[in-house]
């Protein structure tokens, strides 16, 4: 089965369906409901013909690194930080039978609860993991 990477973003995607404050401004019970949903999405996927290979949430803190040369240490910086920076919040790596199944799973994840239990309807970036050289078309 092909693998797909489903990316959740802090920002940088299409315009949100509805404005939602950052999670650190949510009521504790809303955060718990959101996290409980996320802890159980692998069960939903398994019941629908796939499996979660990995799922992780990421902090907003990041470090940019590049090769410094054969006799130099890696070059490290915390910027650039452009306003349109695309911050990845987390991901799911899934094994599913088709792109359509990956899209169905992404739609389910998009329905996760936000403040007051209302679904977030957040955008999920779906990308197939390359298993060979890209096609020339």
Share of the chain above pLDDT 90, in %: 34
Q: Which domain holds residue 122?
A: 3-128
What is the per-residue pLDDT across 32-56, written as a single tens digit (0 to 9) for each? Answer: 999 999 888 888 888 988 888 888 8
Residue 101 placed within a domain: yes
Residue with the bigger pLDDT between 12 and 5: it is: 5
Q: Using alpha carbons only, how large is the chain's radius of gyration in Å?
A: 17
Residue 104 placed within a domain: yes
Q: Which two tokens stand for residue 22?
A: 């950052």
Residue with the bigger pLDDT between 52 and 1: it is: 52
* Alpha carbon distance 67, 20 (integer Å): 38
Residue 136 placed within a domain: no
Which residues does 115 contact at the CB level (< 8 Å), separation at least 6? Answer: 20, 21, 26, 27, 30
Mean pLDDT value across the chain: 84
Residue 135 placed within a domain: no
pLDDT at 12: 64
| Total count of domains within the chain | 1
pTM: 0.74
Residue 137 placed within a domain: no
CATH number of the domain to which 70 belongs: 3.30.70.1060
Q: Average pLDDT for residues 53-80, to the nearest whole number?
A: 81
Q: Average pLDDT for residues 2-17, to the nearest whole number?
A: 80
pLDDT for residue 16 is more than 60 = yes
Residue 22 placed within a domain: yes
- Residue 67 burial by Cβ neighbours in a 10 Å radius (0-12, 13-18, 19+): exposed
Residue 133 placed within a domain: no
Confidence of residue 84 (pLDDT cuts 50, 70, 90): very low
* Alpha carbon distance 56, 14 (integer Å): 22
Residue 57 placed within a domain: yes
* Alpha carbon distance 43, 77 (integer Å): 39
């Amino acid at each position: 089965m092909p693998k797909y990477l489903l990316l959740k973003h802090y920002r940088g995607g299409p315009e949100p369906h509805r404005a939602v404050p950052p999670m650190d401004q949510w009521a504790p019970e809303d955060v718990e409901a959101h996290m409980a949903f996320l802890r159980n999405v692998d069960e939903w996927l398994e019941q629908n013909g796939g499996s979660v290979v990995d799922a992780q949430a990421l902090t907003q803190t990041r470090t940019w690194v590049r090769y410094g040369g054969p006799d130099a240490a890696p070059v490290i910086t915390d910027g650039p930080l452009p306003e349109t920076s695309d911050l990845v919040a987390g991901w799911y790596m899934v094994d599913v039978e088709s792109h359509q199944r990956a899209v169905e799973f992404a739609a389910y994840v998009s329905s996760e609860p936000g403040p007051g239990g209302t679904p977030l309807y957040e955008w999920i970036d779906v990308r197939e993991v390359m298993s060979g050289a890209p096609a020339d078309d």
